[in-house]
Amino acid sequence: MSQHRSDRLIRVSLGVVGILVLGYGVLRILQDQRHTHPVALGEWLIGALIVHDGIIAPVVIAIGVLLAKVVPPRARVFVQGGLVVGGLISSVGVLLIWRKGKNGSAALTLLQQNYRANLLLILALVTIGTAISYGIAVLRSNRTKCRLPADH
């Protein structure tokens, strides 16, 4: 069997199984309306798309564009890296900070840490790590520049 045909077979099988499993999940959600509240669930699903595609992603892109304008290229790589690391960690961290005041329960040992301080500590470490790697990159390139004439 040629590579092309076996590829096609894999793709068609995956697709058919996928549609069946997807359809089964949707069907069961629609069947069990008393527990699944399909209309409210649908609103939340659309809401998830709007919040991500309409708010989170554009804000991230805008920060990227702003960085490209104000930070010089060599430093930008590191600022971007640090922001991505910090942003990803914060995606979980801010939810913990937000819910701590409302759902925290000493009896359940639930959300009992000072997440604000903990997140700040982690972000401080990320900043220091980013600054150190930028420093190393600057030192390295300076050394390479100094050596260049001797290499020729």
Partner 1 sequence: MTARVGRVLGIAFTVCFATGLLSHYQYTPWRWLPIPAAPLWGYRLTQGVHVITGIACIPLILVKLWSVYHRLFSWPGVRSLTHALERLSIAVLVSASVLQLVTGFFNVLQFYPWHWDFKIVHYWLSFVIIGSLLLHIAVQLPAIREGLATPIWKPTSSGPVSGPSRRGVLIAATVGVGVVAATTVGQVLPPLESVDLLAPRQPKNGPQELPINVTAQDARVSTAARSPQYRFTVEGPRPLTMSLAELEALPTVETTLPIACVEGWSRSARWRGPGLLDLVEQAGGSAESMVTVVSLQQGGYSSSHLTGTQLEHAVLATHLNGERLSLDHGYPLRLIAPDRAGVLQTKWLTRIELRS
Tell me, rounded to whole angstroms, the distance of Cα 141 from its chain centroid.
31
Work out whether 118 is an interface residue with partner 1 (CB under 8 A).
Answer: yes
Work out whether 5 is an interface residue with partner 1 (CB under 8 A).
Answer: no
Query: Which of 55, 62, 66, 121 is close enough to bind partner 1 by CB under 8 A?
Result: 121
Question: How many of the chain's residues bind partner 1 (CB under 8 A)?
Answer: 73
Query: Which of 44, 62, 63, 124 is close enough to bind partner 1 by CB under 8 A?
Result: 44
Query: Which of 1, 2, 5, 65 is close enough to bind partner 1 by CB under 8 A?
Result: 65
Whose CA is closest to 126, among 88, 93, 86? 86
Query: Which of 2, 5, 102, 146 is close enough to bind partner 1 by CB under 8 A?
Result: 102
Q: How far is CA 68 from CA 71, 73, 74, 77, in A?
A: 6, 7, 11, 10
Half-sphere exposure of 30 (CA within 13 A, CB side): 6
Work out whether 63 is an interface residue with partner 1 (CB under 8 A).
Answer: no
Work out whether 48 is an interface residue with partner 1 (CB under 8 A).
Answer: yes
Query: Which of 6, 52, 140, 142 is close enough to bind partner 1 by CB under 8 A?
Result: 52
Work out whether 61 is an interface residue with partner 1 (CB under 8 A).
Answer: yes
Considering only residues 73 through 92, tell me which ones interact with partner 1, judged by CB under 8 A. Answer: 76-77, 80-82, 84-89, 91-92
Under DSSP, the state recorded for 71 is S
Query: Which of 1, 5, 49, 150 is close enough to bind partner 1 by CB under 8 A?
Result: 49
Q: How far is CA 9 from CA 1, 2, 5, 14, 23, in A?
A: 10, 11, 6, 8, 21
Helix (H) or strand (E) holding 44: helix 38-49
Work out whether 2 is an interface residue with partner 1 (CB under 8 A).
Answer: no
Burial tier of 105 (Cβ tally within 10 Å: 0-12, 13-18, 19+): exposed
